[in-house]
Amino acid sequence: MNETMNFNDILTNDFVNNFMFGNLSIIDILLGLLTAFIVGGFIYFVYKNTYKGVLYSSSFNATLLVMTMITCLVIMTISTNVVLSLGMVGALSIVRFRTAIKDPLDIVFMFWAIAAGISSGAGLYFLTFIGAVVIGIVLIIISRKKHVDTMYLLVIHYTEEAADDVKKELHKLNHTLKSKIMRKNVIEQTSEVRLKIDNTAFMTRLNEIEGVRDVSLVQYNGDYAL
């Protein structure tokens, strides 16, 4: 006579007895955490040397290292207890992180740290190291790629009398008007310009125009909000 086994039978028989609790040796724990620490340190090094944003955050970079080790610890914990793993999935599903990510590439490093922690916590040390080396090389190559143009924000304060001369000079640049504010006789104009590195001779020409009070140039990575 054929007997069918449903999900409840699985949880009440050998599955519970064999897989409910597992044991991790001290060597497994130390190897996992050590692997996570080494790879997390490598992620720290790659992030620090490839960061191209405006303001580097050392605390965020340190978080990547610690996140790798914490993820490894979580994976080792749930791998020893099936019931605990199910409960932890429910607990982590209600966690919400409200910290804004300014650079989209930071998300890549966060997922890299989490993935490295998962693989090291699962005991896949070879996969962790190989994956870290390959991803690190890719990120370094991408960061070393030189761009022909760099994006800047050009801010000019000038009087109405200088408007025509400023407009003529800006026509020589690859620019896009972002904002224009008029305060009585003074105009504040913000434009997005693409320039080759150190090609800022136009600032001298703008500053020499009669009626121009000041000219400012700020590197811009696309996250600036007016």
Question: Tens digits of per-residue pLDDT, 10-51?
Answer: 555 555 555 555 567 788 888 988 999 999 999 999 998 888
The CATH number of the structural domain formed by 150-219 is 3.30.70.1150
Note the pLDDT tens digit of each residue in 150-207: 778 888 888 888 888 888 888 878 777 888 888 878 888 888 887 766 677 778 888 8
- DSSP per residue, 73-111: HHHHHHTTBHHHHHHHHHHHTT-------SSHHHHHHHH
Q: The pTM is what?
A: 0.61
Query: For the chain, where do the domains classified as CATH 3.30.70.1150 start and end?
Result: 150-219
99 pLDDT exceeds 50?
yes
Considering just the CA atoms, what is the radius of gyration of the chain in Å?
A: 28
214 pLDDT exceeds 80?
yes
Q: How far apart are CA 220 and CA 107, in angstroms?
A: 20
125 pLDDT exceeds 50?
yes
Q: Give the mean pLDDT of the chain.
A: 77
**% of the chain surpassing 70 pLDDT:** 72
Q: Strands 186-195 and 212-219: what pairing?
A: unpaired
